[in-house]
Structure 1
């Protein structure tokens, strides 16, 4: 698997798709559909059905250089299992002990200023501002005052309009789940998923 500069990839592509579903086959189809539509960073949450199997199968299809990661990583054991399956980066919902430094770059979850500081000091590649919907774009702006150089990725309740606003206020990327995936993880239309991907890719491309 090709080593991934997660922060550089986030800055370049500005969109992280987040999958968490009950059907492994539908999840794999969604990953491949998003990749074909141009979404270059995709996170498969470990809380989804057979998530490690989905990561393993997706890696085999997409090759060693694709930006495929694992989400809801909570322990070093999770981190090892995810990287063994083919995850090139790890995403946590909080500052999970032992995950940073476990062998792959980490997008670490934080909400408060204390958590943001701790995640950055621990060596996170970027900060997943979660749940971003609690404070919205104005809260991101407030956090950037004391942390101007910190790379933030808002996640949680981010639709296309909010994605553009977060990026305008200094986020390096946004993470998007259900507003992008819709019913795709339950076997919904691949065409509709491609259309939503196109909408989000256009939203994050806006200066």
Structure 2
């Protein structure tokens, strides 16, 4: 296996501006989806641990695409999740909130995109040492809420996730997001054995939308 990429997570988010979130009930299809995304030029992905056999998917994708794709584990809730994600080959973790998974990942030296929604949670995420804050679920406030949060937190890097569609990518970036996370609006049914061609088309569109404003 080639060496894991070591570029800091925040730098990658600022550079790539697009995080694909892969979650499915067919491990082989999830792996094919990751490979298709990589072929289209999407190079930051999160595999949610809530998907079927997600650790095996991460392990296989990390072995096949190391050096080409920056692969994280998502829905990391517990300390055990963080350890398993590291052992599977994830180079960062993503959490929906501020549980034990955040603390353990940081202890292990894995950068964390930590989930938060309220100002109090944002303060806590920063205090824990999160590399960036996953604004989740983003649809609860939309781009206008992100813009309002950036007034008291101008230095905090936000990545909106949850209900972010292709039609709102530019809005969130214009509101100050460093990147956006796209799940089902990008992946569709591909990780469950569905349409890979549609995934490829949406990937190209998403990359264009995530380009310079």
TM-score scaled to structure 2, two decimals? 0.94
- Pair 1:149-2:155 in alignment: yes
- C-alpha deviations, 1:70-107, integer Å up to 9, x for none? 00001221111101100000000001222333321000
Tell me which residue corresponds to 1:66. Answer: 69
Is the 8 Å Cα contact of residues 40 and 203 (structure 2) preserved in structure 1?
Answer: yes
- Separation of aligned partners in 2, 1:148 and 1:184: 37
Q: Secondary structure at the match of 1:101?
A: helix
Shift of 1:64: 4.2
2:130 aligned with 1:127? no
Task: Report if the CA contact (8 A) 2:5-2:66 is conserved.
Answer: no
Tell me what 2:111 maps to.
Answer: 105
Gaps of 5+ in 2: none
State the number of aligned residues: 207
Which residue of 36, 51, 54 maps to 1:51? 54
Which aligned pairs between 1:1-207 and structure 2 lie closer than 5 A? 1-64=4-67, 66-97=69-100, 98-99=103-104, 100-207=106-213
CA RMSD for the aligned pairs?
1.1
Runs of 4+ in structure 1 deviating by more than 6 angstroms, as ranges, are none
User: 2:43–2:68: 8 Å Cα contact kept in structure 1?
Assistant: no
Aligned-pair distance for 1:108?
A: 0.1
Mapped to 2, the partners of 1:23 and 1:153 lie a distance apart of 27
Question: Retained in 2: the 8 A contact 1:18–1:176?
Answer: yes
